[in-house]
Amino acid sequence: MWLAVLLTVIAVVADSHVTGSEGSYFQRIAARAGSPTRYDYSKALSLSILFYDAQRSGKLPAHQPISWRGDSALHDGDNGHDLTGGWYDAGDHVKFNLPMAMSTHTLLWGFIKFQDAYTQAGQKNAMCDMIKWPLDYFLKCWIPSQNTLYVQVGDGGKDHSYWGRPEYMNMERPAFKVTASNPGSDVAGDTVSAFAAGYIVFKNICGNAAYADHLLQAAKSLYEFAKNHQGIYSRSVPQAAGFYNSQDFKDELAVAAAWMYQATHDNKYLNDAKQFHVPGTPWALSWDEKKITADLLLYEITKDPSYKSEVINFVKSYKPGGGIQYTPCGLAFRNEWGPNRYAANAAFIAVMAAADGIETHDYLTWAMTQINYLLGDNKYGISYEIGFGAKYPLHPHHRGSSCPTTTHQCNIGDPGPNPNLLKGALVGGPDNQDNYDDKRSDYVKNEVACDYNAGFQGALAGLVHFAMHNTLPAAPAPKCHH
């Protein structure tokens, strides 16, 4: 017992001094005192952070960890209003704020819950740095005095006709906004959640109280805007509809209100969250659907068994026999478009619920079936996270990664591997029979995106957390051997 405590202290102290390989060295030492794992979840977590760093738009800092990325889209804005920064959405260069904000508050939630895992992996400082990037951008997007929230930069059609590095883009990049008369309480709500969860993280974990207060003030005014001007953003901004068409906004408002309560402990927000909450079992946790996030947050706050039963029903719906299709090798196959993302997001909810004491052993075991499939328990023995293990995708559908830094010219059809390794990116995934083609032009199977990694990273952090505390069950046997 004392050894475990001592090694954990060593890892905590090490976090402020080491990162990267040295951090994983401490992680490996400390892991000896915890549960054995089939895969190095700390390593996979560390790589995921680097994926988000590779997605950065704008003027990059001197310490930017991705050597093949440079400054890009330095003129993003609207009539002189600066909108530089943020993350490129996927393999393209549009900044879509709905999936960006969903990814941000999902990542922050996992960071709050499993802070010890980030520290153990030597990644706390890297995570604080990574997650501040979208928050800085969202602060630019919200103009309280004008009731204006910018929600997209770049035109999807024009952007998708360009295959090249973001550093060499020169097409027009229009900015789109929601206002009191053209509302978007879904994207506004998600941005509130990012601000409020960001407040908690920067106040309690990242040690920047002034920045935290700035985020909370923005969250309060944006929440009022989101609540008072309700509507679906993709109706106000039709340019978003072909890419991220929103179905509803009540789930985002429920999550926003729950996060505002977590940040302020003001009961008016909790009452709002209960009112915005929609009962029923969600289809997924996704960029469009956050109802399960509201369910779990409300359960954490109230301990009301009705919310708990909705969480149980959600996880049950994803487990074998729950109605979802499974591939022969064991991936919960929600949709052909990014199945890895849906499986990882559901695993994240299971791990978060396990941390709240819901079906802990059972949910962790199931979550590992999904995360381990993504890391190698599949018929190819490959990791669907780029850079993890010995075999992983070499041709992701990602412009910046696929273009050499030495030339302005590149082609989606170039036969060789991407010259720049897109470390940490989770690719879309196989078909419903586990078949996968590592082909750049196949954007269904080989696209990457901000929202693909969000739950995946949080699930990894949770598995590290339980392993650290020697409470992670034995890894389930893989269904397929390669």
Q: Which residues have a catalytic role annotated?
A: 438, 447
In three state form, how does the secondary structure of the chain look?
CHHHHHHHHHHHHHHCCCCHHHHHHHHHHHHCCCCCCCCCHHHHHHHHHHHHHHCECECCCCCCCCCCCCCECCCCEECCEECCCCECCCCCCCEEHHHHHHHHHHHHHHHHHCHHHHHHCCCHHHHHHHHHHHHHHHHHHEEHHHCEEEEEECCHHHHHCCCCCHHHCCCCCCEEEECCCCCCHHHHHHHHHHHHHHHHHHHHCCCCHHHHHHHHHHHHHHHHHHHHCCCCHHHHCHHHHCCCCCCCCHHHHHHHHHHHHHHHCCHHHHHHHHHHCCCCCCCCCCCCCCHHHHHHHHHHHHCCHHHHHHHHHHHHHHCCCCCCEECCCCCEECCCCCHHHHHHHHHHHHHHHHHCCCCHHHHHHHHHHHHHHHHCCCCCCCCCECCCCCCCCCCCECHHHHCCCCCCCCCCCCCCCCCCCCCCCECCCCCCCCCCCCCCCCHHHHECCHHHHHHHHHHHHHHHHHHHCCCCCCCCCCCCCC
Structure tokens belonging to residue 344: 């990882």
Closest to 473 (Cα-Cα) out of 462, 482, 481:
462
CB 396 within 8 A of CB 91: yes
**What is the CA 187 to chain-centroid distance, rounded?**
16
Amino acid at residue number 31: A
63 Cβ contact list (under 8 Å, min separation 6): 129
Closest to 42 (Cα-Cα) out of 108, 148, 118:
118
Phi/psi for 153 (5° steps) reads: -130, 125
